[in-house]
């Protein structure tokens, strides 16, 4: 008798995956575990076993585990590229995705293919679904499921190593079921996810230090004194050797300053952390005898070896070749130049403003005529939009459009359309106040109340709220970006009074657009600007 296995199309897999965002059992699970966060890891182990895996198998993935508030994704991207430059087969798990969920799980730097994603998705989902009735109907929530799927894929695809980015925090993040990573890293710490991690940087540092493991080397970038003290105490308590990375300028290089594939001064500390993580991993790979047992005396707080980076070394090549879309990224489409950065905290927005001010000024010096700057902004969740807009206000912009995204892989079913629009209007009001304008009822709502009947807002005359990302892009580009002028890209028409406001955009020699505030927004923009994301 012949057996036959049928796999449904990718879109069915994505739609099924999205149901895990609002799974009633999952939401109840979250509420139950919030007061007992250690239950999260117990639950994760149970889901892993139901999917046909055991925690011990993860030891074979030779994992590099990275957390932090700002820069952990970039650090992972640098690390993966360096080790791939050495010829190793790499796995890389990150979050969130920009356009397609497959971006979260990469093999050798590329998002896993549609066929493989679909195949492995139904393998894992099928095992969990078949066992749910004997486990109270429970299914893992969205991120938990993707984490299990990533582990399954990396094991099946036999990667030499897996670079795993923590989702939120560290101690109780579902990636922390990893027992024996080869090395751990902590990027820059700041305030974020306070409802989960705590409302002080010391509490957040405690959570981040939870990824330390006994005898496993760990590295951190330089941190403020108080969170650094917490990391030191966590390392001592766990029995983990902790090193602080040197500044990138301290690495000797025979051909001048190192060139990084990711722009922005803040990327230099991420690059240094990546160098140390890669070096530590390579030491264990090439000198395995050193790591059979943890050393008797663990250095609690010291500096690592400073590598000699020759111009042709895999270190330098890896740093220069690193790509990480949506982070300090520049795209030039004729007279319209887009500057994209997923900054979504006040600290990361400060770095974004510094990067944009420098790079946009460089572009403007070679434009040969007047340039108009436009801010395309949105924020999600509990982000402090007003604080981020205050930082952006120091950069001269044409008043910014807000958008709220309406797109399958990018959908967040836990947030209503009305909630998203309300956030946009709040952002609009904040920008108005920063410009010293009084709040008064206006008539500049770009979408009709017939489309969104629950909209009721006071709209200012200097900022614009668009119904979707594409309509905002088409308005600010004014037909001067050929990619956006394609006849297939049709949106709800805007009012004539709004079209009239675009005169400065039509008259300018160049248009510079900063897209910031949310990785979801940046992903939505890239979906329209870069054809490779739509395939």
* Positions at the binding site: 95, 165, 193, 327, 341
In terms of Cβ atoms closer than 10 Å to its own Cβ (0-12, 13-18, 19+), residue 191 is middle
Which residues partner with 402 through β-bridges? Answer: 377, 465
CA angle, corner 162, sides to 304 and 121, nearest 5?
160
3-state secondary structure 371-385: EEEEEEECCCCCCCH
Task: Provide the CB-side half-sphere exposure for 190 (13 A, CA).
Answer: 16
What 3-state DSSP class applies to 478?
coil
Give the H or E element holding residue 310: none
Which long-range contacts does 175-178 make (Cβ < 8 Å, 24+ apart)? 175/65, 175/93, 175/147, 176/41, 176/65, 176/210, 176/211, 177/41, 177/44, 177/45, 177/48, 177/55, 177/58, 178/58, 178/63, 178/65, 178/213
| Contact partners, residue 205, CB within 8 Å, separation at least 6 | 189, 223, 226, 227, 228, 230, 231, 234
User: What residues have CB less than 8 Å from 391, skipping those under 6 apart?
Assistant: 346, 349, 350, 353
Token readout for 65 is 């585990």
In the chain, DSSP finds a helix count (H) and a strand count (E) of: 19, 14
Find out whether 341 and 357 touch, Cβ atoms under 8 Å: no
From residue 476, alpha-carbon distances to 87, 338, 500, 506, 510 in Å are 44, 11, 12, 9, 11
Range list of β-strands (E), 79-121: 90-93, 105-107, 110-111
Distant-in-sequence, close-in-space partners of 487: CB < 8 Å, separation ≥ 6: none
Q: What's the 3-state SS for 45-89?
A: HHHHHHCCCCHHHHHHHCEEEEECCECHHHHHHHHHHHHHHCCCC
The annotation places the binding site for Mg(2+) at 95, 165, 193
Asked whether 438 and 393 are in contact (CB, 8 A), the reply is no
**Which residues make up each annotated binding site for ATP?**
327, 341
Taking alpha carbons only, the member of 491, 213, 501, 520 closest to residue 340 is 520
């Amino acid at each position: 008798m012949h057996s036959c296995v049928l796999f449904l199309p990718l879109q069915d897999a994505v739609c099924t995956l999205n149901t895990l965002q609002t799974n009633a059992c999952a939401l109840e699970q979250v509420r139950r575990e919030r007061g007992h966060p250690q239950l999260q890891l117990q639950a994760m182990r149970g889901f892993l076993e139901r999917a046909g895996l055991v925690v011990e198998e993860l030891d074979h993935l030779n994992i590099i585990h990275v957390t932090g508030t700002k820069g952990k994704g970039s650090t992972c991207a640098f690390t993966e590229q360096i080790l791939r430059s050495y010829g190793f087969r790499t796995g890389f798990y990150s979050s969130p995705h920009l356009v397609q969920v497959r971006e979260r799980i990469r093999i050798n730097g590329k998002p896993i293919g549609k066929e493989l994603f679909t195949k492995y998705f139904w393998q894992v989902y099928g095992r969990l679904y078949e066992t749910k009735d004997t486990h109270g109907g429970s299914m893992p929530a969205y991120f938990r499921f993707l984490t299990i799927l990533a582990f399954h894929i990396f094991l099946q695809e036999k990667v030499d190593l897996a670079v795993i980015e923590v989702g939120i925090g560290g101690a109780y993040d579902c990636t922390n079921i990893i027992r024996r990573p080869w090395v751990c890293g902590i990027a820059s710490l700041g305030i974020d996810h306070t409802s989960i991690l705590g409302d002080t940087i010391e509490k957040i540092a405690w959570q981040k230090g939870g990824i330390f493991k006994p005898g496993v080397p760990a590295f951190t970038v330089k941190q403020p004194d108080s969170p650094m003290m917490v990391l030191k105490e966590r390392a001592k308590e766990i029995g983990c050797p902790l090193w602080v990375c040197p500044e990138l300028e301290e690495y000797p290089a025979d051909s001048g300053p190192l060139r990084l594939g990711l722009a922005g001064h803040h990327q230099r500390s991420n690059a240094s952390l990546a160098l140390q993580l890669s070096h530590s991993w390579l030491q264990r790979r090439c000198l395995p005898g050193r790591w059979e047992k943890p050393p008797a005396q663990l250095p609690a707080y010291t500096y690592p070896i400073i590598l000699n980076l020759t111009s042709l070394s895999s270190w330098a090549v890896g740093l220069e070749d690193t790509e990480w879309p949506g982070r300090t990224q520049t795209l030039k489409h004729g007279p319209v130049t887009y500057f994209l950065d997923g900054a979504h905290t006040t600290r990361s927005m400060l770095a974004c403003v510094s990067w944009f001010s420098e790079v946009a000024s460089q572009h403007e010096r070679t434009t040969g005529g007047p340039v108009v700057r436009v801010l395309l902004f949105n924020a999600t969740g509990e982000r402090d939009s007003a604080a981020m807009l205050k930082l952006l206000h120091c950069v001269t912009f044409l008043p910014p459009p807000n958008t709220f995204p309406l797109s399958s892989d990018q959908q967040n079913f836990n947030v209503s359309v009305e909630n998203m629009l309300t956030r946009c209007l709040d952002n609009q009001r904040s920008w108005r106040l920063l410009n010293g304008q009084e709040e008064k009822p206006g008539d500049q709502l770009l979408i009709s109340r017939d489309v969104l009947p629950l909209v009721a807002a006071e709209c200012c005359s200097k900022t614009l709220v668009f119904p979707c990302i594409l309509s905002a892009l088409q308005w600010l580009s004014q037909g001067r970006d050929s990619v956006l002028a394609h006849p297939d890209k049709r949106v709800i028409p805007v009012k004539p009074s709004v079209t009239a406001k675009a005169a400065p955009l039509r008259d300018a020699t160049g248009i510079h657009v900063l897209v910031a505030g949310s990785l979801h927004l940046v992903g939505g923009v890239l979906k329209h600007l870069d054809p490779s994301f739509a395939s």
